Amino acid sequence: MKKLNIWKEVTTLVVPGQNDSVEELKKIANFLAGLDPSIPWHISRFYPQYKMEDLETTPLEVLNQAYDIGKNAGLRYVYLGNAEKGNNTYCDQCHRLLIERSGFSIETYQVKEGRCPDCNRSIDGVEM
């Protein structure tokens, strides 16, 4: 897909007792980083519904731990889904807030010609 210039992102629904162990999350993060550290990894919070109502909601601590695991693996863009925070994009070099999101809306967009306006780092993704 990368050779064909197709943008890709990966979402992992973290389900308590199913795929929420540190070992499992490290395997996912390391696999993605080994493919391409610019692949955005969306770590989504599970909520009990339908036939899985007997499970608990994914604790925020687990999502935050998964976020750290992804960043430590070398992933440039890690996001938390179904959580109050964790949807913004920051420059992975100088850490400037580049894209501020509220739900599915973009509140602030600071990427200029595909680059961070502070440190000039190339920002991966599809330009608006």
Q: What is the mean pLDDT of the chain?
A: 93
Structural domain boundaries in the chain: 10-86, 88-128
The band of 128, judged by pLDDT with boundaries at 50, 70 and 90, is: low
Question: Do 86 and 67 form a contact (C-beta atoms < 8 A)?
Answer: yes
pLDDT digits (tens, 9 = 90+) for 41-98: 999 999 999 988 899 999 999 999 999 999 999 999 999 998 878 889 999 999 999 9
Q: Rounded distance, CA 48 to CA 63, Å?
A: 16
pLDDT score, position 70: 97
Specify whether the CB–CB gap between 41 and 33 falls below 8 A.
Answer: no
Between residues 103 and 101, which one has the greater pLDDT?
101
